[in-house]
Amino acid sequence: MQTGTPRQPRVHTSSEDCEDVDVAIIMESTYPFLKGGVSAVVHDIVTMNPDISYGIIHIAWDSAAPSEDLYGMPENVRWVRLIHLSMEEHAQDFKAAGARAVGMDRGQRRRVSGWFFDAIRTLARTGDPEPLWRLYDAGFNPRTRTMEAWRVLGTQEFMTAVRERLSGLGLSLSETFWLVRDFMSILYALLAETMPRARVYHAHTTGYASLVAAAAARDHDAAFLLTEHNLYVRDTVNTLLGRNMALPVRTGDYRDFEAVTPVQRAWMAWWIEMGRFCYPSTDRITYLYPKALEEARGLDAPVDDPGRVSILPNGTVLSEFNEQYALRLEETQRIAALTPEGAARRTWKLVFIARVVPIKGLADLLDALHLLISRGVEDFTLDVLGPTDHVPEYYELCRQKIEELHLERWVSFRGTVDVRAQLGRYDLLLMPSYNEGQPVVALEAMSAGIPVIGSDVGGMSQLIDDELTHPDGRTWQGCGVLTRPGDAPMLADAVAGVISDPARYARLAASARGRVEGFFQLSDVMARYNDLYRELGGFPSVEQRVLSGELSGQRARRALEIR
């Protein structure tokens, strides 16, 4: 969907002024203040479901984080509730919470400290989150607590428990103290206040967003919906360790990995066990692609419960690409009429559309292009579309590689552009990424009839390669080629194989558009989200809301049109 005119969002730093809504969407550092794939999906959700009222719970590090509404949130988004994680944002409150435990004797403080570590141990050993939830209800939840367990954190009894229970970390007592303080200050930022009331809390990651959603759903007797756009725990742990982003992560890895520091091991446990804590609280979980289920199973997600877990892909509005598709269709017909010799003389227009960052694999693509040239395949150009300032040192590395490999004639950086307006110019989208979920940019290129060559990671096989059969019996073959991430020779072979075979190119191009038409239509995806919200939240239908007067005017007309 096209974004609207940016305007000042309705932002709150407390829940008092936030009205009740149908759905609260919990985001980590994305919508509506940062552009990206997940933000685009969320904007589609709120825009294409105008009959539903929304709030956005936006988790960011501190108040210096971006705060301009880049999407132009629709009127059915009633508020944005900010949560800042940095202790600098809530230091005074957190230190006050950990002050001398007035009203608790030494024995009580010792019992609460023991309860805390016993509950964590139970989760780690058995996966049972209930002891921690009971502690949350009794000591941390501002709506139900009978004691202020935060106050125990600054006591001698708690530090004694830290020394006794965490002695195996391999850290000094002072190092352990600062590590635990970091964890506790984050928990305080997330849980010390009650979130605004909603019927459904929809988290889009399995980290802090899920923790907030699980607690809020428990507080308000509401539903918890989790959408895993990618495997957040896997990606966070791999980023922490500097590993290949495609490598799996399993629940026992923080115990078993050898080449990690004590602090890294503690943070691995933090992320992995947070996921194990939140998963049992979900009412429904959606994944973008089938292959995600197997890796999620290794993190103890309840993927074997068909009533709880489903596949809900991304989508796009096919009609928005009709102009670009018409251009590509005309060009594809010309390509199909070429002989192999004619194809070899044609200048092929390749495009890389992504941030210039290591995970997107541009450096590998440059190596692949150098291999093509060394084989005598020279009639092509590559345009790089996307921001270059996210990881400046990687951009400089790529510039240096272009100079070293003498690729200046072939490769151009175009920066951030209107991608949709440019798609009709290109023959082939290249995505040599180390990690992807179900990239919207691939769907957009496919909607324009552009084949895709990319890495076999995440949901790329479902998008690009798997045979897909529609309920009406139509079957679509692949629309591109998948390669191993980081394998420049394989990537070079894939590009050469497509641009040297005009008939094959035409088949891939036709399949690209057909796959989107049959399986990745945004209207179908958004209707499924609407159905999920109604099922979980017990909302009246659009028609019932119109008849009752709850929904009227332009919102009512648009909701009826969409449905």
Q: Tens digit of pLDDT for each residue in 170-224?
A: 999 999 999 999 999 999 999 999 999 999 999 999 999 999 999 999 999 999 9
The closest alpha carbon to 360, from 291, 228, 264, 457, belongs to 457
Q: Compute the average pLDDT of residues 433-448.
A: 94
For 327, other C-beta atoms within 10 Å of its C-beta total: 15
User: By the 8 A CB rule, do 104 and 152 touch?
Assistant: yes
Q: Which amino acid is at 19?
A: E
Q: 89-148, pLDDT tens digit by residue?
A: 887 777 776 655 557 889 999 999 999 999 999 999 999 999 999 999 999 999 999 988
What does the mean pLDDT of the chain come to?
A: 93
Domains of the chain by start residue, with CATH = 90-183 (no CATH), 318-519 (3.40.50.2000)
The Cα-based distances of 253 to 234, 259, 264, 353, 543 in angstroms read 11, 11, 11, 34, 50
Lowest mean pLDDT segment, chosen from 246-255, 399-408, 543-552: 543-552
| Cα of 456 vs its chain's centroid, Å | 18
In angstroms, the CA 433 to CA 483 distance is: 10
Q: 267-325, pLDDT tens digit by residue?
A: 999 999 999 999 999 999 999 999 999 999 999 999 999 999 999 999 999 999 999 99
pLDDT-derived band at 560, boundaries 50, 70, 90: confident
Question: Model-level pTM greater than 0.75?
Answer: yes
Q: Which two tokens stand for residue 499?
A: 């641009």
The closest alpha carbon to 301, from 127, 118, 537, 458, belongs to 127
Taken in order 455, 456, 458, 462, the sign of the CA dihedral is positive
Q: Compute the average pLDDT of residues 348-362.
A: 96
What percent of the chain has a predicted confidence (pLDDT) above 90? 82
The answer on pLDDT for 351 being more than 90 is yes
pLDDT-derived band at 4, boundaries 50, 70, 90: very low
Q: How many CA atoms lie within 13 A of 524 on its CB side?
A: 13
The answer on pLDDT for 426 being more than 50 is yes
The answer on pLDDT for 1 being more than 50 is no
What percent of the chain has a predicted confidence (pLDDT) above 70? 97
Q: 492-532, pLDDT tens digit by residue?
A: 999 999 999 999 999 999 999 999 999 999 999 999 999 99
